[in-house]
A and B are shown apart, each in its own frame.
Chain A
Amino acid sequence: MRDGVHQAEFAALYARAHLDLLRYVLTLLPDRHHAEDVVQDTARLLWRKFDEYDPAQPFLPWARKFAYFEVLKFRRSRALREKYFSDELLELLAEERAEAEGELVRGREALDGCLQKLDEVSRQLLRDRYGDEIPLEELARRQGKSVNALYVVMHRIRQRLLECVNRTLKAEGWT
């Protein structure tokens, strides 16, 4: 039985790595619900394996390896290999995700400013969709719009934000 100090160490490390793991898994398994499942499975696995973790090494790369294998396992178990990315592309995305981390971190910081520039209607839509997790179909029904029309609006919001983030990155010299 592991002691409380051990638990606290793990909790602190995992809390810091949690979102990075989620981004990583969602990159490889682009379905929110699947990604949640895999991250939960990964967390359990990490806790079981925590005795093997070398505290002299950074936690996230260690955790990512387990997450990667959990993704592979999940794909196999759900027959998702054909549905999303090939194994080769999966590996490429996993590598490039790690390499691009600095730029992606800055991009996430820049997003804050970009969200501030967003009009209130768009913000409310994001709040409904992501804050209250209302399905797109339900939002479309409430607004009297087609799902496709609402999808287009969502896409436009995402695209505006992405372009705003990239303008910021470009201004800061990221290529």
Chain B
Amino acid sequence: MTKPDHYEELTVLVARLLDRQLDDAGQARLNELLRADPKARRAYLQMVDLEVEFGCRFVAEANRELATHANIVPFDFAAERATERRTWFLRLAAAAALVAVPLLGWLLNRPAGRAGASAVVVRVEPGAGEVQLLDRHGKATPLKAATELKPAARVALNGKAATASLVFPDASRIELSGPTEVSVQPNGTTMLQLHRGHLSAVLGTNLARNPFHLQTSNANVRVEGTRFTVRETAGLTEVSVEAGRARLTRRSDGREVEIKTGQFAVADGRMDWVVGYLPADDGRWGEDFENGLPTGWRGQLVSEGLPPGSKHGLKTVRTQEPWGTFDVVELPAEWSHGLIALNTNSVLHLTYRMAKPTWLNVFMHTIPPNAAPGEKAMFILRSAEFPGARAGWATVSIPFARFVRKVPDPVTGELHFTGGPPKAGERICTIAFTAPHELDLVFDKIWVTPDGPAEETVQLLPTKDKTP
């Protein structure tokens, strides 16, 4: 969809309108823009949709318990009387509950697998913390070593430190950790139900030879492979495959996605599957733009004036933000797993040209090792060589140790870039090259290696001679 004229102004006005902060002059200007331009009206419709969708998603998250357990009547049929106003979100939750409860009940209670199939004995080995066996009435008893898991019985781990293992006859092991609840339907197709929490599977030859079936609250997962992890948190299912492949089917509408080694997929009952790549474990990552503009990058693809042999590069693109206008190139943001894990010797390599040498900022976001959920770190690059005062093509290699972490001041608590470099195991979410002024900066390649020079190095490159 092409942007309407006055896009920035329009989005600011609509956002203010939806936040009830638009004054009369702003409203008049918004009306003028909407009357004049169908694209502006389309953008307005989209922004209204976003507003409603935010409500749906985030209130559904907050009220998930309410939506699945509460007995809320969405509409008072008897009421010709005026009812007390509730938020639309509660009504949404109520409507969702009406549909979701019977469906969920049927899904969880329907017979699993084929009748008469041979049973697979699954033993449970409690590890650390509180590990309990729940019978079908919810009665909990402490789990003893080598307990055989009976059909429909549940294993419940309580507390972050709790661990347990499911052990199969062929020595396949599924490790459970943290607050987790799981049950096994030990029939011919080995059905595991992950009600909540986290499991990590390393399958032996027998199980790996046959598809392994697993259910979460909103997905059916069929794995052919040996190593995978599944996480079920607040109705969100996340599956990562370290070795093998998995077919994931969303229960609400049957949408399927297949992922293979090195990929993960996330979905809940409403949204479509989101597929991403697990961070490369060899410490190498990069992009040369030779196949066009890769997904998720911010920048403008160019094909002129590049180094010999190169077809494409990525030029900074002018981006308007409410607080100013910036030239920027940005790596595809991967906030869930990161793009790549760093070590203390990791090096960033940039092949670039800046027609008019000037300063810019390089910001990096990371997921620190052992980060709490959602925890991120921010860095700025303190480089002596990048961008430098060169107008021609150059490759600069910069140790990640040149990045400086943003940390709170011990006295004032204000955040400043005065911390240390990234730690081993820290995973890059994104890197942005940005300045408020025009940069005329083109990257031919950007890549990361697990090792390289300990100091910054620069190699000058010839520019392609375009004369006949």
Interface residues of chain A, those whose CB is within 8 Å of chain B, are 2, 7, 10-11, 14-15, 18-19, 22-23, 26-27, 30-32, 35-37, 39-40, 43-44, 47-48, 83-86, 88-89, 92-93, 96-97, 100, 103-104, 107-109, 111-113, 115-121, 123-124, 126-127, 129-133, 136, 151-152, 154-156, 158-159, 161-162, 165-166, 169-170, 174-175
Contact across chains for B75 and A14 when beta carbons are under 8 A apart: yes
B256 contacts the other chain (CB 8 A): no
Most buried by A among B1, B51, B80, B266: B1
Give A162 to B27 CA distance when docked, in angstroms: 21
B365 contacts the other chain (CB 8 A): yes
B389 contacts the other chain (CB 8 A): no
| Interface CB pairs A-B, < 8 A, 14 | A15-B98, A18-B91, A30-B18, A30-B48, A89-B35, A96-B45, A103-B42, A113-B274, A115-B271, A130-B54, A154-B15, A158-B11, A158-B47, A169-B1
Give the residues in chain B near A156, CB-CB below 8 Å: 321-322
Closest chain A residue, CB of each to CB of B63: A131
B290 contacts the other chain (CB 8 A): no
Interface residues in B80-109 by Cβ distance below 8 A to A read 80, 83, 85, 87-89, 91-92, 95, 98-99
Contact across chains for B92 and A18 when beta carbons are under 8 A apart: yes
Give A124 to B83 CA distance when docked, in angstroms: 32
Give A170 to B333 CA distance when docked, in angstroms: 19
Contact across chains for B88 and A136 when beta carbons are under 8 A apart: no
Give the residues in chain A near B50, CB-CB below 8 Å: 111, 158, 161-162, 165
Closest chain B residue, CB of each to CB of A41: B82
Give A113 to B45 CA distance when docked, in angstroms: 19
Q: How many whole Å from A54's CB to the nearest CB in chain B?
A: 21
B282 contacts the other chain (CB 8 A): no
Which residue of B21, B58, B272 is within 8 Å of A130 (Cβ)? B58
Give A30 to B44 CA distance when docked, in angstroms: 10
Give A165 to B54 CA distance when docked, in angstroms: 14
Contact across chains for A83 and B15 when beta carbons are under 8 A apart: no
Contact across chains for A120 and B375 when beta carbons are under 8 A apart: yes
Q: How many whole Å from B118's CB to the nearest CB in chain A?
A: 40
Contact across chains for A175 and B17 when beta carbons are under 8 A apart: no
Contact across chains for A131 and B335 when beta carbons are under 8 A apart: no
Give the residues in chain B near A107, CB-CB below 8 Å: 46, 49
Interface residues of chain B, those whose CB is within 8 Å of chain A, are 1-3, 11-12, 15-21, 27, 31, 34-35, 38, 41-59, 61-62, 74-75, 77, 79-80, 83, 85, 87-89, 91-92, 95, 98-99, 266, 270-272, 274, 296, 321-323, 333-336, 365, 373-376, 429
Give the residues in chain A near B27, CB-CB below 8 Å: 83-84
Contact across chains for B95 and A18 when beta carbons are under 8 A apart: yes
Contact across chains for A123 and B374 when beta carbons are under 8 A apart: yes
Contact across chains for A155 and B12 when beta carbons are under 8 A apart: yes
Q: How many whole Å from A67's CB to the nearest CB in chain B?
A: 13
Contacts A113-B274, A120-B375, A151-B21; is A97 near B45 (CB within 8 Å)? yes
Give A114 to B54 CA distance when docked, in angstroms: 12
Q: How many whole Å from B90's CB to the nearest CB in chain A?
A: 10
Contact across chains for B1 and A174 when beta carbons are under 8 A apart: yes
Give the residues in chain B near A115, CB-CB below 8 Å: 57, 271
Contact across chains for A124 and B374 when beta carbons are under 8 A apart: yes
Closest chain A residue, CB of each to CB of B373: A120
Contact across chains for A93 and B46 when beta carbons are under 8 A apart: no
Give the residues in chain A near B91, CB-CB below 8 Å: 18
Contact across chains for A152 and B322 when beta carbons are under 8 A apart: yes
Give the residues in chain B near A126, CB-CB below 8 Å: 54, 58
Give A23 to B31 CA distance when docked, in angstroms: 19
- Given contacts A10-B77, A11-B74, A158-B47, list 6 more A-B pairs with CB under 8 A: A40-B83, A112-B271, A112-B272, A119-B335, A130-B57, A162-B47
Contact across chains for A131 and B1 when beta carbons are under 8 A apart: no
Give the residues in chain B near A84, CB-CB below 8 Å: 27
Closest chain B residue, CB of each to CB of A86: B31
Give A19 to B16 CA distance when docked, in angstroms: 22
Which residue of B58, B59, B272, B323 is within 8 Å of A152 (Cβ)? B323
Give A99 to B1 CA distance when docked, in angstroms: 15
Contacts A44-B80, A83-B27, A109-B272; is A170 near B1 (CB within 8 Å)? yes
